[in-house]
Amino acid sequence: MPRDSRYDILFESVKIGPVATKNRFYQVPHCNGMGHTYPKSIAATRGVKAQGGWSVISTEECEIHPTSDVSPYIEARLWDDEDMKRLQLSTDAIHKYDALAAIELVHQGHDGGNRYSRLPVMGVSDLVVHSYDPNQAYAMSKRDIADVRTMHRNAAIRARDCGFDIVYVYAGHDLSLPFHFLSPRHNQRTDEYGGSLENRVRFLKELLIDTKEAVGDQCGIAIRLAVDELLTSDGIVSSTEGREIVEMLAELPDLWDVNISDWSNDSQTSRFSEEGYQEKYTSFVKQMTSKPVVGVGRFTSPDTMVSQIKRGVLDLIGAARPSIADPYLPKKIEHGDLDDIRECIGCNICVSGDSTITPIRCTQNPTMGEEYRKQWHPEIIRPKSSNDGIFILGAGPAGLEAAMSLGRRGHSVTLVESSDQAGGRVLKESALPGLGAWKRVVDYRLGQISKLDNVNIHLESQLDADQVLEFSHELHFQHVAISTGAKWRNDGIGREHHRPIDHDKSIPVLSPDDIMGATFSAPDRVVIYDDDHYYMGSVIAEKMAKAGSKVTLVTPAHMVALWTQNTLEQERIEQRLFSLGITILCRHRIEKVENAEIIFNQINSSSIISMDADALVLVTSRAPNNDIYSALTTLCKSNESSNHNSTKLKTITRVGDCLAPSTIAAAVYHGHRFAQEFDTVLDIDVVPFKREYVEI
C-alpha cells in the first residue's frame, strides 16, 4: 500500500552536525536490562529496530568510568578499550540498515553507588547517595572536575572509534553529574561551579565544548536535558531556569533532546497521561535554537507526529516505549500499513526489566529481548513444519497471540471463546479507570487475525471436554491448547495466607471479578485487602471510590501497590488514592471476618484492629481455570486405554494464565512461545535459548 502523502514530512532527512538522518524517527536512549552483560542480545535488539526503519538508535546510559558504576543495574559501559568490542556489535548491527548509532555517555555522580568498583562516590556536593546504601558522596574538587572532563572526553573518542555517529552529553532525569551541577537542591558549592545559574551551567557547558572538540568533526553532539522537574520548590522549571539553560547553550550542541524529570515523570504510564503529554513543558525549546530538537511523549499516532513537526514543537519524533512495542513502526507508516502498528499501551512492563535487573520485555511485543536468545523477530516467523491443525479454547491474551502467530506460520487454527467478545481479562481490565489503552492488546491481534483465512474464531461457544474432543475430531485437529485464563480467588489465599481466611459470612466477600462484572453495585463502605501488590487493588479502589463507596485499602506490604515501583507508578497511584479520599493502611494482615467485623493485625507489633464494612474485596491471587484441561486429559487417557484411536490427540497444552497466572505480558509471551515452539521437539536437558557467557 502506498504511503499517505500526509506523512511525507516524517521521512525527510534532518542534519545533526556532520551526520544526517534518513527520516524523523529517533529512538531515544532507554534502558533494557541487557547492557554490558549481554552485548549480543542488545545488539540484536537494536539491529531489528534499525531494520524496522528507525533512523537513529540510541544506547541506554553508558558509564564512562569505574567511578560511575551503577551496579547491580545493567547499563552500557565504556570504561576502557575492552568495552569497545562489545559496543561495536551494536553499531555494526545498526549501520547494517543505514541507521545512525547514538551513545548516551553518563557519569552518575551521587546517583551511582560504585558497588562493583568499590571506589568512593563523587558528587557535586557532600551528599548521601540516591539509593538507601549507607554511604555518601564527597564534594568534587577542581581536580576531580578536570578528571571527569577527561574521562568524558576519552569515552567520546572511544565511542567515535567503535562506530557511534552521535555522542550525548547527558543532563537529564536527575541521574547525572551535569544535572546535579544544574540543580540548586544538589549544588551547594560556593566556587565558580555553584551559586548563580551561570556558574551551575559551567560544568555542562565545558563537557559540551570538550566533546565537540574531541569528536565533533565526525559525530553529532547531542545534549539531553530535563527542562522541568515538576517539583514545587528547588527544581528546574521550564518557564524559568529550564528556559534560561537552553538560552545559554542554544547553539552549542548539534541536537537538543529534551524531556522532563525524573524518570517517573518522563515515562508516565497511560493510566496517568495521554500521548504527547510533555509538549507543554518542552515546546519552547525549538523557538530558542536553530538546532534540531527531539522529544518524547509515547507517540504512536502518525497524525500526532506530523502535528508536532508542523506546529514547530519537534524536528524529530523521539520514542523509547513505542519503539519497543513496534520496532517496525516507521516502516509501517512508510508503507501505509497503519492498521498493522502494534501500539504501545503505556503499561511500563518494559521499564520493569531495568528495575528488576532482567532483560527487557513488552506486553504488546513478545519478541522484545528475544531477538538473539531465541532468534525471534517481531514481523517474521518461521513457516510451519507440519500440516497439523490446532484447536484453541479461550480467546484471552494468550489464546489470541497463539492463534495469530500460529496462523502466520500457516497452520489451520480454530479459536473458540465462551463469551460474546474476544479479549478475556484484557477486555475486563481495560474498562477499569485509566486502563483504556490496554485494549490495544486485543484490538491489534483481532485486526491481524481478520487478515488470516486459516484462523477462525467462534464466539459464544461454551464447550465441555467431550465437545472439545468431538470438535477436534470433526475438524481434523490433532492438537488442543487450553487458554481459559484464571479467576480471582475470594478466599484470601495469596502471599500472606496459604489457607483460606476464617470467615463467618457476616460480611459479603467479593473479588475483582465481581467488581469488574456487569452487575456491580457500589456498597457504602468497603475494605479492599491487597495482597497482590500490583495495579489491581488500587484500580479497584479507584473505581469503587468514584462509584460512591467509602474505601479503605489495606495491604500487608509497607506501601500500597508495592510492585508498581518497578513500573514508575507507585507514587502517582498513592497520590490518586489520597485525592479520592481513600484511606490507606499498610503493614496489616487480615486475620478473620466475624460478627460483621474484619479483624487485622499489625504485622510488626501484632496489635489487633477491627473494621466495619458493607463488603470486603480480596485482591490476593488467582486460580487457573483448568477444569477443562483436567477433564480432557482424563478423557483422552480413558479413550487411549479403550483403544478409541479416532479420538486421540497428539498434544493437550495449557497456555497463559490457565497454566500459571501472571501479568498480561506473560500471557502474551507464553502464547507466542507456544506458537513458536509448536511442531518442534525440545530436549529437556538443553537450555531453550542461546546464552551469553563471560569470557574465561
Residues serving a catalytic function are: 31, 170, 173, 266
Cβ pair 25, 57 in contact under 8 A: no
Provide the angle, in degrees to the nearest 10, between the axes of the packed helices 197-215 and 142-161: 30
333: enclosing H helix or E strand: helix 329-334
Cβ pair 294, 28 in contact under 8 A: yes
DSSP for residue 364: S
Cβ pair 226, 245 in contact under 8 A: no
Cα of 548 vs its chain's centroid, Å: 33
Burial (CB < 10 A; 0-12, 13-18, 19+), residue 517, is exposed
* 356: phi then psi, degrees, rounded to nearest 5: -100, 5
- Give the three-class secondary structure for 244: helix
Cell numbers representing residue 155 in the block: 569515552
- State the Cα–Cα distance between residues 118 and 106, nearest whole angstrom: 18
- State the Cα–Cα distance between residues 331 and 337, nearest whole angstrom: 8
- State the Cα–Cα distance between residues 29 and 454, nearest whole angstrom: 40
Cell numbers representing residue 553 in the block: 485499602
* 98: phi then psi, degrees, rounded to nearest 5: 60, 35
- State the Cα–Cα distance between residues 380 and 570, nearest whole angstrom: 37
End-to-end CA distance of the chain: 51
Give the position of cell 524517527. Answer: 25
Cell numbers representing residue 299 in the block: 507517540
- State the Cα–Cα distance between residues 118 and 616, nearest whole angstrom: 50
Cell numbers representing residue 635 in the block: 478423557
Q: In 178-329, where do the E strands start and end?
A: 220-228, 255-260, 293-295, 316-319
- State the Cα–Cα distance between residues 188 and 227, nearest whole angstrom: 20
- State the Cα–Cα distance between residues 265 and 547, nearest whole angstrom: 28
For Cα atoms 619, 622, 627, give the angle at the middle one, nearest 5 degrees. Answer: 150
Q: Is 177 left (phi over 0), alpha (psi -120 to 50) or beta?
A: alpha
Residue type, 379: E
**How many angstroms separate the Cα of 291 from the Cα of each of 254, 286, 334, 676?**
6, 8, 25, 46
* 650: phi then psi, degrees, rounded to nearest 5: -75, -40
Which strands form 588-594's sheet, in the order they lie side by side? 502-503, 588-594, 597-602, 608-612
- State the Cα–Cα distance between residues 382 and 106, nearest whole angstrom: 40
Which residues, 6+ apart, have CB-to-CB distance to 539 below 8 Å? 429, 432, 433, 434, 435
- State the Cα–Cα distance between residues 681 and 226, nearest whole angstrom: 51
**How many angstroms separate the Cα of 612 from the Cα of each of 584, 600, 601, 605?**
15, 12, 15, 22
Which residues, 6+ apart, have CB-to-CB distance to 82 below 8 Å? none
